[in-house]
Structure 1
Amino acid sequence: MPSPRPEEAIARGPADPPFPHPLLESLRNAPDSAAFEHGPRTVSRGELLETIRRLAGAMRGAGLGPGRALAVRTALTPEAFAAHMAAHALGCRVVGVRPGYPAGQLAHVLGTGIDALLLDASTLTPELPAAAGPVAVLSLGPAGPGAADLLAVPDDGSPLAVTARPDDVAALTFTSGSTGRPKGCAITYRALSAHWAWQPRAWSPVAAAFARDFERYLLFGTLASMVVLEFLAPCLLGGGTAVIPEEDGRPLFPYAIERHRITGSIITVPRLGRMLGLLRTEPVDVGSLRALMVSGSPISPRRLAAAADLLGPVVYQGYGQTEAGSISMLTPADIARGPERVLASVGRPHPGVEISVRDGDGRQAAPGTTGEIHVRSPYVMAGYWGRPEETRDTLREGWLRTRDLGRLDGEGLLYLTGRTRDVIMVNAMVVYAGPIEQVLAGHPDVEEAYVAGAPDERTGEAVHAFVVAAPGRVPDRDALAALVRAELGEDSVPLTVTTVPGVPLAPGGKPDKRALLERYASPAP
């Protein structure tokens, strides 16, 4: 099957039905098909729809409805997804609470004016209700005294109706917090109703084919992640089954792919690296895989090519942000074209997404010139919750400042070169971490590279690099320093280069450079 190009993926039609109506209709139209496989049990689409209906009634009885806020911290289950959709059908503001938040961040996330907290027995801790304050505590299943079990509420028989208001906030999704306190991105019902992933009526034939590649979709992580929901949507709306595997002590990638004959999923760059390493030494059958979306952080052209060589023409690379949703996509067809310059890109913008690269004065940069990436689309956030000044600084005249640096070439391919905030002041000179990471990741001894700055008595700040060794290789600090010096100049040379076994992740799943600095505070030069 030819891989879809992003610009062919969606044909915009008449007014889109309101979110989550298309999903509910999809479940209603094929009630006997499997929606979820969760360990040993299968949940049909009809059963899922009935659970959504009953949970909506129970939530309504608990006082939830349009404009009310429900914080959700549950395990990943079919019932948890049903709870999200029930709350959305009622028009609630769903506040996703990621696992792994320290106490301060948890209090910050739950201090956004919530009306109720939804949890389950596996996520209930003393800290969670305490941080939420005096609000109703609801649960999916028994979860101890004080928690009202929504699944045990008698059915009131009410039909399921979508009562969401277009300009109300549908989801408060938090940034990873890798550069500071997580920010709540307010996504409206109007934005989700315009989002390509939730509107199958607007899919072109190639978009429908892409959704079919998610016929058996490996679902993991947390529903508090917009990325997880964004790619779960094409699976369910395309008639597929979301597979939530049981843990068996082995990495999900590649073993769950083989065990469950998975056809599609998403994967982070560090997890992809570990999977490729295992596939080089272990006889694991991943031949069922038809679409694997790599996202979360930049990937080197060398590793992207290696993934395509090992897995076949199934690898996609996506670029997006919590604030903007999916922005661009590099397809297997793009990757198969081969030139390294194409593999260094993050593909072309999705239909409906406009990109403007601007210089330091906010003017449109010339083609091929690096500047700050600005994005405009129907589904960007409405703003940061409770942060009007940051919202005004980020959203300007309908455009969202991504804080990412990049360039567009003559073919419309987008290239990322760094973050505007990943700046290290060395001897009063501006040094960007992104280009250093790209140079280091291009060395054959390096599998992953991360760069951060830290105060230094001699130079003001100093560059510190952390590398993960390529399989069977031993990175040499002097060789890597010489490579950076030759490519970027003396100021960009890392003061320290530390080989690490892996990179810690922030709660949002992105590499946590601050944790690297803290963990290896005195790396050997």
Structure 2
Amino acid sequence: MPATEPGTPPQAYPRQILDLLAAAADRTVFEHGAREVTGAELLDAVGRISTGLRAAGIGPGDGVAMTLGVSPEAFAAMIAAQVVGARVCGVRGGLTPKQLRHVLTGGGTATTPANRAVVVDRSTATDELRGAADELDLLAVGDLLAGPPSATALDCAGRPADAGRIVYTSGSTGDPKGCVETYAGLGAGWAAYPDRWPAAIRDLATKLDRFLVFGSLSSQVMMEYTVLTLAAGGTAVIAEPTGGPEPFLPSAITRLRATASVAAVPRLHQLVTGQRTDPVDLGSLRALLVSGSPLEPGRLAQAEAVLGPIVYNGYGQTEAGLISILTPAETAGAPARLASVGRPAEMVQTQIRDGSGNPVPDGGEGELFVRSPGQAAGYWGDPAETADVFIDGWVRTRDLARFDADGYLYLLGRIRDVIIVHADVRYAGPIERVLASHPGVAEAYVVGMPDEQSGEAVHAFVVPTTAERPDPTELGELVADRLGQASRPRTVTFIDVVPVGPSGKPDKRQLRPAGD
């Protein structure tokens, strides 16, 4: 199965990924325990699985849920499903039974068809999953790999307007929302195309010799940066060689000699804390992409002081993809930039709009709207939410933001993460940042709870930096001095670790008492 021949008409996504694997040939592209998988071997696996999927009747427009561990075969299965033109729906762990069934079936409606099949491996073919997927064809990766590839195994059949991938949110507001990426949108993306890489990605790509993969390839960030690693000539090294989950810990970086990986903000804090109390040799690590939630500038400075200039502070959304990255080089000698999330990538258009939807003057604050070639097309089966977020080709991020004179983007809070105190709107983001600026606070999270006197009141949950907790009164005064008495937390509760949802992001719902 050769790469695309010269003069061959261009094919749909994921043609470029197949060509990257063909070009890699005998180079190791995945390392999984003692196994080293070359580009040619992975391409053969894609061909075998796509042949098996077609034999099972899967083709353009069909929905296929993927419940797979982290392995080269899982990567191959996801790419193979897109080769045959299917709608690939990744399934993360940690879902409730109701949410699991919703994602597995695709939540079919009159206008959005349900999924036809679910692809599993030995680690995911549980009784719970079989029960939730009882109306779907259950396809095992091992069976799909068993036969030889057909002559047309790598012919890409995706239709531009069809959904090529649905990335589900964590379901923090009920059933997970599915962000739809069409084949046209996937083909307009950047990860597999070095000539499209923004400057920050070109810088990051030089550090991807050995990219640590963990968690789930259903994660949009993990999948895209794995593809980026292949395009950069690196190797994806998997942190679960024994079949059991291995946490993202310094030991994994050391043992696998990883040069790069990704981490949510809580994991970064754990890594920094671990290096302070029980340091290990992280000399191989050259880049750590932090994403998922805002990174307080003081914590970014601490991470750079402990880990070195390796932290890339990324900002993006499932709906919009990559928006910006702040690189270590940009913060060197410019500490004020630590509060920013970098400059938007070259292919991303941005606008700051006021509450009426009109652009604000330069330097003004408002809601950030973005537009990029590979952004999502909407939400699967949810036209009302689609109309609210995807507006005239733009994605409303629902993030408050501003730009400085040099074009650096600063996030100021979430539009909907608000607490109304005495009819006065208080945004949680600024309160959390003030609390996190205290030297005794590692992380801070703010929620609103009903209050008989003020309608709602601010309540703070704080992860202290040491066993000696800061004075709650002092924290309250710090907030009141900077933001006013209405923003002062009614209570300050100390916690050891913030609860997280299936995506690895902080889940503030779990901080509220049941029923609130």
TM-score bucket of the superposed structures, by smaller chain: over 0.9
Verify the 8 A CA contact 1:97 1:224 in the aligned structure 2: yes
Tell me, yes or no, if the aligned pair for 1:212 and 1:235 is still in contact at 8 Å: no
Q: What TM-score, normalized by structure 2, do the two folds share?
A: 0.92
| Contact 2:341–2:409 (CA under 8 A) maintained in structure 1 | yes
Which secondary structure state, in structure 2, belongs to the residue aligned with residue 197 of structure 1? coil
Q: Which amino acid aligns with 2:133?
A: A
CA distance in 1, matches of 2:247, 2:134: 37
**Which residue matches 1:172?**
166
Q: Within 5 A, what are the aligned runs for 1:90-129?
A: 90-112=84-106, 113-129=114-130
**Shift, 1:206, TM fit:** 7.5
Which residue of 1 is the match for residue 261 of structure 2? 265
Counterpart of 2:337 (choices 338, 342, 354) is 342
Aligned partners of 1:327 and 1:176: how far apart in 2? 20
Does the C-alpha gap of structure 1 residues 123 and 518 become closer, same or farther in structure 2, counting only changes over 3 Å?
farther
Cα shift at 1:124: 2.1
Distance (whole Å) between structure 1 residues aligned to residue 458 and residue 200 of structure 2: 45
Mapping 1:24-173, distance limit 5 Å: 24-112=18-106, 113-141=114-142, 149-153=143-147, 155-156=149-150, 158-173=152-167
Three-state SS of the structure 1 residue aligned to 2:512 is helix
Q: Alignment identity in percent?
A: 51
Provide Cα deviations, 1:232-262, integer angstroms capped at 9, x if missing partner.
1110111111111237997533221111111
**Distance in 1 between residues matched to 2:148 and 2:22, nearest whole Å:** 22
**CA distance in 1 between partners of 2:144 and 2:137 (Å):** 12
How many residue pairs end up in the alignment? 499
Q: CA deviation at 1:203?
A: 4.2
Matches within 5 A, 1:271-310: 271-310=267-306
Shift of 1:19: 2.1
SS of the residue corresponding to residue 100 of structure 1 reads coil
- Looking at structure 2, the residues matched to 68 and 221 of structure 1 have their Cα atoms a distance apart, in angstroms, of 26
Question: Aligned to 1:505, which of 500, 509, 515?
Answer: 500
**What are the equivalent positions in structure 2 for 1:416-495 lying under 5 Å apart?**
416-495=411-490
CA distance 1:451–1:213, shift in 2 (3 Å): same
- Provide the residue aligned with 2:356 in structure 1: 361
Match of 1:373 among 345, 356, 368: 368
Distance 2:260 2:10 in 1: 26
Alpha-carbon shift at residue 176 of structure 1 (Å):
2.3
Structure 2 CA distance for aligned equivalents of residues 400 and 481 of structure 1: 36
**Aligned equivalents of 1:281 and 1:101: distance in 2?**
34
The residue number in structure 2 matching 1:240 is 234
**Residue 195 of structure 1: which of 189, 201, 209 is its match?**
189
Once residues 133 and 460 of structure 2 are traced to their aligned partners in structure 1, the CA distance between those partners, rounded to angstroms, is 39
C-alpha displacement at 1:180, in angstroms? 4.1
Return 165-174 or 107-116, whichever deviates more.
107-116
CA shift, 1:511, in A, is 0.4
Which whole-Å CA distance do the structure 2 matches of 1:237 and 1:423 have between them?
A: 41
What is the CA–CA distance in structure 2 between the aligned matches of 1:357 and 1:204, rounded to whole Å? 21
Segments of structure 2 that go 5 or more residues without pairing to the other structure are: 1-8, 107-113
Between the aligned partners of 2:490 and 2:175, the Cα distance in structure 1 is 28
CA apart distance, 1:17: 6.6
Residue 480 of structure 1, CA deviation? 0.6
The structural deviation recorded for 1:129 is 2.9
Q: Is the 8 A contact 2:200 2:325 kept in 1?
A: no
Residue 356 of structure 1 deviates from its aligned partner by: 0.6
- Counterpart-to-counterpart distance in 2, 1:281 and 1:461: 39
Q: Residue 205 of structure 1: CA displacement?
A: 8.5
Segment of structure 1 superposing worse, 87-96 or 159-168: 159-168
Between the aligned partners of 1:335 and 1:278, the Cα distance in structure 2 is 24
TM-fit CA distance, 1:125: 2.5
Opposite residue 114 of structure 1, the aligned amino acid is N
* Cα gap change, 1:347 to 1:34, in 2 (>3 Å): same
Aligned CA RMSD, in angstroms, stands at: 2.1
SS in 2 for 1:121: coil
